[in-house]
Structure 1
Amino acid sequence: MLFNSLGFLIFLPTVFLLYWFVFKKSLLTQNIFILAVSYLFYAWWDWRFLLLLILSTLLDYAFGLLLASTRHKKLYFWLSVVNNLSILGFFKYYNFFADSASELLRQMGFQTNPYFLSIALPVGISFYTFHGMSYVFDIYNGKIKPIKNFIHYAVFVCFFPLLVAGPIERASHLLPQVEKKRIFSYGQAVEGMRLMLWGFFKKVVIADTLAADVNLIFNNYKEYNGSTLLLGAIYFSIQIYCDFSGYTDIALGAAKLFGFELLTNFRFPYFSRNIAEFWRRWHISLSSWFKDYLYIPLGGSKEGKWKAVRNTFIIFLVSGFWHGANWTFIFWGLIHALLFLPLLLSNKNRNYTGHIVAADKKIPGAQELLQMLLTFSLVTIAWIFFRSPNIYDAFDYIGGIGDSFFTVPAYYNQLVYVFIFLWLDWMQRRNERCVLEFKNKYVRRFVYFVFAMLIIFHFNFINRAEFIYFQF
């Protein structure tokens, strides 16, 4: 079920009313109901993949219990890792490895006829697999104790707002909320509605509007001049940010309606002053996951500079591969590793860890503005590889930007959406949770009304655009 669908607009208020008026009597009834509607939400795509989700949940739940009740902790830990990666690898990466191996053998003079799976990628598999793995990792490292109540654990993995595209939750953060009876909070619900309104605006009004032009430009890039190609790359940078952060805002807002607080996933990444700060603000739950469960176990930056360089390249390449079974994603990760490297070698990768750009000013200074523009430009170039079907097309696209550059670009009318969004994002940059808050109630209501009208006007009830990160 898509957030931007008529079905969800019926599903959410129905679940909300039943949750608070019928199933609020006890913690058990609350969690059983949430789990049931989460399974319904997921089965809306394909009920067969619901069985895979339940199997994955059962296995990680069992491994968690085994880790705490046996001497063979390391054995069960690695069995859990192999199990999760096998499920993920089979459904997401089998065709990629089969095709790559076949191409390598062909280059060596061998003819092969590889067998490819003709099966859709289970939606959200990367996210719920990483949920389960983090739970097992934390038990193995002694950070948490295994939970005995399967219903509670299943809600942690399958809670419908975060099920298909995150944020990637931690058991230490979400499980205590699952194990505690929720009481309705009007203030929390209002905050949730604001976040959802802002998320729908970013997705429906900004991302989906830009998506039409992005698709035309990238799919026919050889037909356009350089200025149009540059504009297409900028549009995609805004599109993917509004698409994914819009989903996150809707997820966080929906969770608040049911008494849950999810992890922050975005903190205005396009106002970053270098690549390191960008990655502390973009897809935070995934970046922190790789840092805690891959970078630090490999030694992090405490075992010498060159091991830190090695570990940095590993997490960026793995992060790229996590996004999809295509060399373009791996190359995208490599680009970010190379951009991160000078900061690491010069010990500047920890700059701006807690300081918001122009925190006490309305506009940034000249230096900060140049830093943000440079970072955004580098990120946008990398996004071209992320968006292109293959690496060769990405290089051709970049090469085409220099052709007939000083000409009027096509589709420039959509720039108004870009400027409006960036201005609104800038005004709210001090707190990603406090959006669309205005002291004057009349101004507040007017803004709500305008946003609602824009969403309704741009809402496509027939050809709904999926969220980009659903494919991961």
Structure 2
Amino acid sequence: MFFNSIAFAIFLPIVFYLYWFVFNKTKSTQNALLIIASYYFYSCWDWRFLFLLVFSTFLDYYTGIQIEKGKSERDRKFWFWLSILVNLGFLGIFKYYNFFAVSFSELLNSVGLQASPILLNVILPVGISFYTFHGLSYVIDIYYKRIKAEYNFVDYSLFVSYFPLLVAGPIERATHLLPQVKVKREFNFENAKEGIYQIIWGLVKKVVIADTCATYANAIFDHYTSMNSFSLILGAVYFAFQIYGDFSGYSDIALGTSKLFGLDLLKNFNYPYFSRDIAEFWRRWHISLSSWFRDYLYIPLGGSKGGLWMKIRNTFIIFVVSGFWHGANWTYIAWGFINAVYFLPLLLRNSNRNNMDAIELSWNFNSVKTIVSILFTFMITCVAWIFFRAKTITDAVLYVKGIFTNKDFGFQYLDNERYNYELLLLIGLFVLVEWNSRTKIEPLSGKKSMLKLALAIMAIMAFGTFSDYKEFIYFQF
């Protein structure tokens, strides 16, 4: 079931009505309904993988209790590593086994040893990377005594399987969501209205921006060998807005939907394309994943407390692992490595935390410098996105090479495809709206909210049809 489908448009009001008017007596009935709704929501993709979700939930629930009750450090470590290894084992089998099998086979073939990999013909369970990381953070926090184990299985199950975040995040923390799950929620009209605004803006990002850009980005990337330099640049820009509109749009819908049920989720995007350097970009892009790797990988490795070489090592590890988290392809690893290279000069100059303040522009030289920094950061981000989008590293390298060697900046693709100029105007308008709303959760609330809401709905109806919806990019991760 997709957020941008008729099925979800029917599903959400039904759950909302039952939640507030039928199952609203106690916290337990509210949570029970949300679990049933979440399991139904997940089973709409493939009911067979529901058993994997339930098993993963029970595993971390049980091991969390055993870790807390462990009488010795040896017992605690046993249950801790059992949870870690089983969780990562499932993730490795479903998501990475074929990648490693093929890569190892190719390595053997390159040195003259003939090998044919044994591959698994399995479908990647949707959302497995997200709900696995929910459970891992919970178990790790219990082991290091940051939180207490949750003994109510219904409450813990809802934390793991809550449908707005189940398949594409944000990656929640037990310290943030579990306390909300453990108390009865009361309806708040203003909170619900804010949620509806956020859902509508998320649909604008997905249906109007992402899906429209996808059509043109796909055409350019699929035929990049015949494209001139300007068209290749255009394709990279289109994909940059496609993936931003797609993923941040999903997050907006997830956060807005959750507000309808009185639960606040972690903010996942904060206008990342207005970043002044790559460090700020990663503080604004997929915030829940970036902070997860910071807290559970970067800091345990020593963080920035060690010498320079340890800082460099840890930085490259966290970016490469982050890339690999996205998928079993060398292109994602290359994308992570490129971002680490971008980050390195900031690390060496100890300036990776310079741009922590809000962005303000006025008529002075500093504002010009800020605009140049934003444009430069966006440009290098687009280059990295080429590797993320390309099917192979060879394709990505040839794509980038084509930009610099073709040297033809004519309006080849703009002139050949309909509505290209209109799309550029649409992107420009979108950027302007986001810029003017960069201190808000979403642009629709505030002055003239009803007019802005009506225009947003009209745009969604004009650009998309719920009978021909496109899935979200991050469902594959």
Q: Secondary structure at the match of 2:124?
A: coil
Q: Secondary structure at the match of 1:162?
A: helix
Residues 1:360 and 1:288: Cα distance change in structure 2 (over 3 Å): farther
Residues 1:145 and 1:360: Cα distance change in structure 2 (over 3 Å): farther
Give the count of matched residue pairs. 467
What is the one-letter code of the residue matched to 2:217? V
Give the structure 1 partner of residue 258 of structure 2: 255
Match of 1:438 among 446, 457, 463: 446
Q: Secondary structure at the match of 1:410?
A: helix
- Percent identical among aligned pairs is 55
Q: Secondary structure at the match of 2:338?
A: helix
Matches of 2:187 and 2:168, distance apart in 1 = 26
What is the one-letter code of the residue matched to 2:439? R
What is the one-letter code of the residue matched to 1:48? R
1:158 CA displacement: 0.5
- Are 1:175 and 2:183 counterparts? no
TM-score, normalised relative to structure 2:
0.96
Give the structure 1 partner of residue 29 of structure 2: 29
Moved more, 375-384 or 458-467: 458-467
Match of 2:382 among 372, 380, 383: 380
Matches of 1:445 and 1:359, distance apart in 2 = 29
Residues 1:31 and 1:323: Cα distance change in structure 2 (over 3 Å): same
1:444 CA displacement: 2.1
8 A Cα contact 1:357 1:364, kept in partner: no
Matches of 1:416 and 1:453, distance apart in 2 = 17
Give the structure 2 partner of residue 301 of structure 1: 304
Matches of 1:25 and 1:457, distance apart in 2 = 41
Give the structure 2 partner of residue 286 of structure 1: 289
- Are 1:427 and 2:436 counterparts? yes
Runs (5+) with no aligned partner, structure 1: none
What is the one-letter code of the residue matched to 1:418? I
8 A Cα contact 2:185 2:262, kept in partner: yes
1:404 CA displacement: 4.0
Give the structure 2 partner of residue 417 of structure 1: 426
1:118 CA displacement: 1.4
8 A Cα contact 2:49 2:125, kept in partner: yes
Matches of 2:411 and 2:43, distance apart in 1 = 47
8 A Cα contact 1:161 1:255, kept in partner: yes
Matches of 1:461 and 1:196, distance apart in 2 = 15
8 A Cα contact 1:198 1:435, kept in partner: yes
RMSD in angstroms over aligned alpha carbons?
Answer: 1.4
Instruction: Extract structure 1 runs of 4+ deviating beyond 6 A.
Output: 359-364
Q: Secondary structure at the match of 1:264?
A: coil
8 A Cα contact 1:264 1:285, kept in partner: yes
8 A Cα contact 2:16 2:261, kept in partner: yes
8 A Cα contact 2:361 2:367, kept in partner: no
Matches of 1:296 and 1:362, distance apart in 2 = 39
Matches of 1:449 and 1:409, distance apart in 2 = 36
Matches of 1:60 and 1:463, distance apart in 2 = 38
8 A Cα contact 2:172 2:266, kept in partner: yes
Matches of 1:197 and 1:464, distance apart in 2 = 15
1:252 CA displacement: 0.2
Matches of 2:95 and 2:468, distance apart in 1 = 26
Moved more, 411-420 or 176-185: 411-420
Q: Secondary structure at the match of 2:131?
A: helix
Matches of 1:434 and 1:360, distance apart in 2 = 23
Matches of 1:418 and 1:364, distance apart in 2 = 26
Runs (5+) with no aligned partner, structure 2: 415-419
Matches within 5 A, 1:81-160: 81-160=84-163
Matches within 5 A, 1:227-266: 227-266=230-269
Matches of 1:363 and 1:120, distance apart in 2 = 54
8 A Cα contact 1:194 1:253, kept in partner: yes
1:406 CA displacement: 2.2
1:34 CA displacement: 0.3
| Cα offsets for 1:375-413 (capped at 9, x unmatched) | 000100000000000000001111111314321141432
